[in-house]
């Protein structure tokens, strides 16, 4: 059976108006840098296009009233100008007979193939290949292949020139285009450009506010029929923002011209600064060029093979779901800065300018679980990144009159809030943005992310060094943020916004209250636990945690108002249930809010409570956020609502491939990518950790699926699960042969390393 179609994203047809959408879909990255899937020669005339080349962490402040940081759109190393004979690629003089692109998700290589007709009736075959290396994160590798067929002078749909069997002259201009901005804002100045070595170009910029140096070095090599070939002529072209080397060579009928390019990128903020950025870029470029495209591709392919072995989710019986699932995982893995604990994954990954590259709760609540169970180092880094932002987060809490740390709703390299307070509207007016002021739940979300990594990994060194402090400081924030309702004898939280951003400035948002209570309770429990250990006592002493403070957290958690009606309904906020179904009152829910609690804490709420709230909230939800379908898919699968679960899952995995929300042109929906994994593995796959950290397995498949396979890491071991409609097969391995306790279909059991365990659905 040919399963390659489930690993390849193909461009079925090419409509100019969809160009920006396709640039997002074919985006490539490696966690260090990312680029959109722009056409090599540039967009067709009039087609929307957003060239975007970024290095993660290279931010610069946007000046003016709407002051926030931008992930800087850097000089573009990709564009070329190719002329075959006297016709330029992209012009009407070269008729496109056929064309297509394909993204191979097994190795991240993007290939574009064209058959072109020249004016004299002759045809040529042209292909472009490129990838962002996973083996050396500083490299972009590109290859062009051109072959010219014999020309007959007939059958052409172009005005026919006299037939000639002379070799065809080909001119290729390659290099850098520095005409790049962030939605019109210029963020860098050029500090150097020119020629290096025998056939290389370099380009250096410095960001205007943050002062980061970014150096790029590029070199090309030509081959004819597999043998090295020197261009017949070379010319350095400097026109405004363009720096290009123009090569001219001739290709006879039956010959194949191959040109390979390597581009190396280094910055002054790299973690391995060995020499200045330009020196490093030139060294890396020269070494990589000597290896050649095929060897470099094999190296990146080997890294991808390891990643897929750890992360693949196999779905049998649903081709579209399988391809969509793999696309989500592919984009998550290539966006992950697993090498760097100073950053996270932005809301648009590294695929487009939307949200300016900022980090949201998306990281902890939708992406961290995937990495915690497939690439724990990455999940650890996300929490360490948040720990680095504690100083500014403490300042933010203080400015609110609170203690502890209030993390930013939109973050970059620091804890300074990046969510704009005002935005300019198309008509010139302004709109007040309150999400950064009101979505206080972000602090509990950060605590949850750190806690989830800790319970999944058992990494006590991390917890004592970073995680415990995050838990303490967020608990301090909530302790000072709550208010005492003396009449009702409970603690409440007023003037907030929950995940449903259509409801502003509400009191007692259920998600916020539950998460705050959870945060306070876990913090108190961890303080009690670590007071019994010498290293823990030292850390708690350094943090100034007292017995009185711990007791206050316990009391507040116990007396927090956690709204729930006798019917089991949980009010999203004060007064919501009474008005939700009244005509012309309020707005539909933008996304899952109460239901988000069930995804996070399935053991905390009885099934009948979850069912009642599903029946109430699901019809009210408009899914205006890409985060919503995956949450609904996960909860529905656990509740046995297979038809609805599958519908929501298919929406989630197609969020970008099918442009569900109509805005994929601005960049991928990174939270939805992670949410798709959660729906597949924690929903249909029935895997999660209960509140004690214990493994739960309770899978249930849609009737259309024949089999589901996945692998997850838990505390140093690997859990392999294969699910059919009748049984669950589990194998478990651990380097130290530690057994794993689990609850499978409601029954407690122990999974023995090296053994194959079969469980029949009851």
Q: Summarize pLDDT for 527-556 with one digit per residue, the tens.
A: 999 999 999 999 999 999 999 999 999 999
pLDDT number for residue 4: 64
Quickly state the pLDDT bin for 1 (edges 50, 70, 90): very low
580 Cβ contact list (under 8 Å, min separation 6): 586, 616, 620
Mean pLDDT of 225-229: 93
pLDDT number for residue 65: 66
pLDDT at 431 over 90: no
pLDDT number for residue 162: 44
Q: Which residues of 401-422 are buried (b: 16+ CB within 10 A; e: fewer)?
A: ebbbbbbbbbbbbbbbbbbbbe
Which tens digit of pLDDT belongs to each residue from 182-217? 989 999 999 999 999 988 999 999 999 999 999 999
pLDDT at 153 over 50: no
pLDDT number for residue 155: 43
Quickly state the pLDDT bin for 88 (edges 50, 70, 90): very high
- CA dihedral over 598, 602, 606, 610, signed as positive or negative: positive
Q: Which segments of 178-318 are extended strands (E)?
A: 188-196, 200-207, 213-224, 227-229, 233-239, 242-251, 256-267, 314-316
Which tens digit of pLDDT belongs to each residue from 17-35? 999 999 999 999 999 999 9
pLDDT number for residue 442: 98
- Nearest one of 77, 87, 90 to 130, comparing CA atoms: 77
pLDDT number for residue 156: 45
Which tens digit of pLDDT belongs to each residue from 443-475? 999 999 999 999 999 999 999 999 999 999 999
Contact 654, 688 (CB under 8 A): no
Q: Which two tokens stand for residue 415?
A: 């804890």
Q: Which ranges of 354-467 would DSSP assign to H, the alpha helix?
A: 362, 368-374, 376-388, 390-399, 435-438, 442-457, 460-462
Query: How far is Cα of residue 716 from the mean position of the Cα atoms in its chain?
Result: 25
The pTM score is: 0.96
Least confident of 309-318, 361-370, 496-505, 582-591: 582-591
Residue with more model confidence, 93 or 520: 520
Give, in degrees to the nearest 5, the angle at Cα 256 between 255 and 260.
150
Alpha-carbon distance 21 to 664, whole Å? 6
Q: Which residues of 198-228 are buried (b: 16+ CB within 10 A; e: fewer)?
A: ebbbbbbbbbbebebbbbbbbbbbbbbeeee
pLDDT at 14 over 80: no
pLDDT number for residue 423: 81
Contact 131, 300 (CB under 8 A): yes
181 Cβ contact list (under 8 Å, min separation 6): 73, 187
pLDDT number for residue 585: 58
Mean pLDDT of 127-149: 97
Mean pLDDT of 490-504: 96
- Name the burial class of residue 617, with classes exposed (0-12), middle (13-18) and buried (19+) by CB atoms within 10 angstroms of its CB: buried
pLDDT number for residue 161: 44
Task: Calculate Rg over the CA atoms of the chain.
Answer: 28
Which tens digit of pLDDT belongs to each residue from 266-303? 999 998 777 899 999 999 999 999 999 999 999 999 99
pLDDT number for residue 150: 62
Which tens digit of pLDDT belongs to each residue from 618-644? 999 999 999 999 999 999 999 999 999
pLDDT number for residue 701: 97
Quickly state the pLDDT bin for 152 (edges 50, 70, 90): very low
Alpha-carbon distance 260 to 241, whole Å? 23
Instruction: Give the rounded percent of residues in the chain with a pLDDT score beyond 90.
Output: 88
pLDDT number for residue 760: 94
pLDDT number for residue 122: 85
* Measured distance between the N- and C-terminal CA atoms of the chain, rounded to whole angstroms: 33
Distances in Å between the alpha carbon of 23 and those of 19, 34, 351?
6, 12, 8
Quickly state the pLDDT bin for 154 (edges 50, 70, 90): very low
Quickly state the pLDDT bin for 139 (edges 50, 70, 90): very high
pLDDT number for residue 26: 98
Phi, psi of 525 (to 5 degrees): -65, -40
């Amino acid at each position: 059976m040919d399963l390659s179609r489930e690993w390849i994203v193909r461009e079925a047809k090419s409509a100019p108006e969809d160009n920006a959408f396709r640039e997002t879909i074919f985006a490539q990255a490696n966690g260090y840098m990312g680029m959109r899937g722009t056409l090599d020669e540039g967009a067709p005339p009039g087609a929307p296009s957003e060239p975007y080349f970024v290095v993660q962490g290279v931010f610069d402040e946007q000046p003016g009233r709407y002051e926030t940081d931008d992930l800087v759109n850097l000089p573009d190393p990709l564009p070329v100008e190719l002329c075959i004979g006297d016709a330029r690629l992209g012009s009407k003089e070269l008729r496109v007979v056929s064309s297509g692109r394909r993204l191979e998700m097994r190795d991240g290589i993007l290939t574009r193939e064209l058959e072109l007709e020249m004016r004299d009736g002759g045809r040529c075959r042209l292909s472009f290949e490129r990838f962002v290396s996973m083996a050396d994160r500083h490299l972009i590798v590109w290859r062009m292949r051109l072959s010219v067929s014999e020309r007959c002078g007939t059958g052409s749909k172009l005005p026919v020139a006299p037939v000639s069997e002379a070799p065809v002259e080909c001119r290729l201009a390659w290099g850098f285009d520095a005409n790049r901005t962030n939605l019109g804002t210029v963020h860098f100045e050029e500090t150097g450009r020119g020629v290096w070595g025998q056939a290389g170009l370099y380009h250096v910029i410095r960001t205007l506010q943050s002062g980061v140096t970014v150096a790029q070095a590029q070199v090309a090599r030509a081959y004819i029929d597999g043998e090295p070939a020197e261009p017949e002529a070379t010319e350095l072209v400097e026109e405004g923002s363009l720096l290009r080397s123009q090569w001219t060579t001739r290709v006879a009928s039956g010959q194949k011209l191959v040109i390979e390019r390597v581009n190396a990128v280094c910055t002054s903020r790299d973690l391995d600064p060995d020499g200045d950025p330009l020196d490093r870029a030139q060294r890396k470029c020269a070494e990589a060029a000597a290896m050649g495209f095929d060897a470099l591709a094999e190296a990146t392919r080997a890294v991808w093979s390891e990643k897929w072995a750890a992360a693949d989710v196999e779905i049998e019986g649903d081709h579209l779901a399988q391809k969509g699932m793999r696309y989500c995982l592919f984009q998550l893995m290539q966006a992950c800065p697993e090498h760097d604990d100073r950053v996270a994954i932005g809301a648009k990954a590294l695929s487009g300018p939307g949200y300016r590259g900022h980090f949201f709760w998306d990281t902890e609540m939708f992406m961290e679980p995937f990495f915690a169970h497939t690439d724990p180092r990455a999940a650890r880094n996300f929490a360490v990144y948040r720990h680095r932002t504690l100083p500014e987060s403490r300042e933010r809490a203080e400015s609110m009159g609170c203690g502890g740390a209030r993390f930013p709703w939109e973050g970059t390299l620091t804890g300074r809030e990046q969510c704009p307070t005002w935005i300019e509207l198309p008509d010139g007016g302004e709109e007040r943005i309150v999400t950064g002021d009101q979505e206080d739940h972000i602090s509990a979300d950060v605590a949850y992310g750190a806690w989830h990594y800790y319970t999944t990994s058992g990494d006590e060194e991390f917890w004592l060094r970073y995680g415990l402090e995050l838990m303490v400081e967020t608990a301090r924030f909530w302790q000072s943020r709550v208010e005492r309702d003396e009449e009702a004898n409970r603690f409440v939280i007023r003037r907030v916004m929950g995940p449903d951003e259509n409801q502003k400035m509400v009191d007692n948002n259920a998600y916020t209250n539950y998460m705050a209570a959870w945060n306070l309770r876990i913090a108190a429990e961890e303080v009690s636990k670590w007071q019994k250990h010498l290293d823990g006592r030292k850390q708690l002493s350094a943090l100034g945690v007292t017995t009185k403070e711990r007791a206050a957290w316990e009391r507040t958690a116990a007396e927090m108002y956690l709204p729930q009606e006798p019917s089991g309904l949980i009010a999203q906020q004060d007064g919501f249930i009474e008005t939700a179904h009244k005509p012309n009152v309020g707005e539909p829910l933008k996304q899952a809010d109460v239901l988000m609690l069930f995804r996070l804490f399935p053991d905390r709420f009885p099934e009948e409570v979850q069912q009642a709230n599903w029946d109430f909230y699901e019809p009210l939800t408009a899914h205006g956020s890409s985060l919503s379908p995956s949450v609904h898919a996960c909860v529905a699968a656990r509740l046995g609502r297979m038809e609805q679960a599958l519908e929501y899952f298919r929406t989630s995995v197609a969020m970008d491939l099918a442009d569900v929300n109509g805005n994929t042109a601005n960049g991928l929906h990174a939270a939805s990518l992670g949410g798709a994994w959660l729906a597949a593995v924690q929903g249909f796959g029935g895997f999660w950790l209960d509140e004690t950290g214990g493994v739960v397995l309770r899978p249930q498949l849609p009737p259309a699926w024949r089999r589901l396979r996945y692998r997850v890491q838990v505390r140093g071991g690997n859990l392999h699960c294969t699910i059919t409609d009748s049984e669950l097969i589990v194998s478990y391995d651990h380097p130290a042969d530690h057994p794993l306790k689990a609850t499978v279909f409601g029954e407690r059991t122990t999974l023995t390393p090296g053994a194959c365990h079969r469980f029949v659905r009851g």
